[in-house]
Amino acid sequence: MLCFIFASMEPEKLLRNWMKSLVAVLVVLGLWVGVRAAPQVPCYFVFGDSLVDDGNNNQLSSLAKANYFPYGIDFRGGATGRFSNGKTTVDVIAELLGFDHYIPPYSTARGQDILTGVNYASAAAGIREETGQQLGGRISFSGQVQNYQRTVSQVVNILGDEAQAANYLSKCIYSIGLGSNDYLNNYFMPAFYSSSRQYTPEQYADVLIQQYAQQVRGLYNNGARKMALFGVGQIGCSPNELAQNSPDGRTCVERINAANRLFNDRLRSLVDQLNNELTDAKLIYINTYGVFQEIISNPSAFGFRVTNAGCCGVGRNNGQITCLPGQRPCPNRREYLFWDAFHPTEAGNTIIANRAYSAQSSSDAYPMDIRRLAQS
């Protein structure tokens, strides 16, 4: 029957049908072999601290570095400067957004590479300029914004004019996660800093948010329109704080967590404020604290066996200091929430990233998650 139909067709019609069939077969084969779709957004810019630094501190005179073994033991690039055994949260988010590479650090990003985004994060950096100074060189939030402004000038030159650059940047995702060091390496370090004597926890949170908002407006004035603001995690549950301030090495330090919640509550409110103020922008809040709380409350549900100690480190809870050069880490890294005294393992980072990208509960992201932000 099919032979009869084809035999009765005109040659031109037969050729057209044959070409349609060939195209359909090629499309199916293309999907079969895994042809990658274009990323969901043209570029991804990252601002933050050691949780997402991917090498910007490598060339700085700083104690806050991770460009040595065992850092990167499970990362395909080895010890790149990432403070984890493997991927950071922004690495996983870049994958989820469809990028076929990780976002390069500002220290090495060059030429056309900047068009897919740049990572400006710096270990020990904070919202306040003095934060982390006892560790040496670092690039504060304001310094990261200044570096971004330099990148924008380069984007204008590449794309031809400011209008095209503004249109391009308006489609990109901006990931911002600072504040942890303003507590770890400032407020709760009275031997080095006076902030805890100057401000109550409520006042300090207010001051941080005021400075934070100023930098976010600076990003907005330079093209940023889709911004994801990450809250601070449960710092009082980190191996470092458990080692120093927990009587049993397991009970989280509530005075620190309470201060973190004050900051996070204000950051979530800042999202509403800026969404009302900057009407052509979309800002969202990522509830990192809440995800950590879930994991620590029921670790086995997430595949973790150890949540109160680092996979590598020194002293009680492996939390006195970070991993030593050449130190052998635990072999069962997937079962640990924390890689070292402060930073999650790749397994921990992956959970946070997945929940930030595609919220599993209404509390994960407000008012939407990164996936919907990318589509907006």
Query: What is the pLDDT of the chain when averaged over all its residues?
Result: 92
**Annotated catalytic residue: which of 49, 182, 343, 369?**
343
Q: Which amino acid is at 75?
A: F
Task: State the catalytic residue, choosing from 54, 74, 182, 340.
Answer: 340
**CATH number of the domain encompassing residue 143:** 3.40.50.1110
| pLDDT tens per residue, range 209-219 | 999 999 999 99
Domains held by the chain: number: 1
In a domain, 11, yes or no: no
Confidence bin at 126 (pLDDT 50/70/90):
very high
| Tens of pLDDT, residues 300-328 | 999 999 999 999 999 999 988 899 999 99
Average pLDDT over residues 336-341: 98
Is 171 part of a structural domain of the chain? yes
Helices marked H in the chain: 2-8, 11-32, 89-96, 141-159, 162-169, 180-182, 195-198, 201-220, 239-245, 254-277, 288-297, 346-357, 370-375
Residue 36 confidence (pLDDT): 62
Residue found by looking up tokens 């990572």 in the block: 119
Q: How do residues 3-56 score in pLDDT, each as one tens digit? A: 333 334 454 544 455 444 444 433 333 433 345 689 999 999 999 999 999 999
Structural domain includes residue 337 = yes
**Host domain of residue 114:** 43-375
**Is 72 a domain residue?**
yes
Is the residue at 236 inside a domain? yes
Q: What is the mean pLDDT of residues 351-359?
A: 98
Identify whether 36 is part of a domain. Answer: no
What are the backbone dihedrals phi and psi of residue 102, each rounded to the nearest 5 degrees, phi first? Answer: -85, 150
Instruction: Please report how many Cα atoms fall inside a 13 Å half-sphere around the Cα of residue 116, on the Cβ side.
Output: 18
Q: How far is CA 92 from CA 159, 288, 342, 351, in A?
A: 28, 15, 19, 9
Active site residue 343: yes
Tell me if 13 is assigned to some domain.
no
pTM for the model: 0.90
- pLDDT at residue 371 in the model: 98
Can you list the positions of beta strands (E) in 164-203?
Answer: 173-177
Q: What is the pLDDT of residue 10?
A: 54
Residue 340: active-site member: yes
The answer to whether the Cα torsion of 289, 231, 88, 237 is positive or negative is negative
In a domain, 348, yes or no: yes
pLDDT score of 364 = 98
Residue tagged active-site, from 50, 107, 122, 180: 50
Does the active-site annotation cover 101? no
Q: What is the pLDDT of residue 272?
A: 98
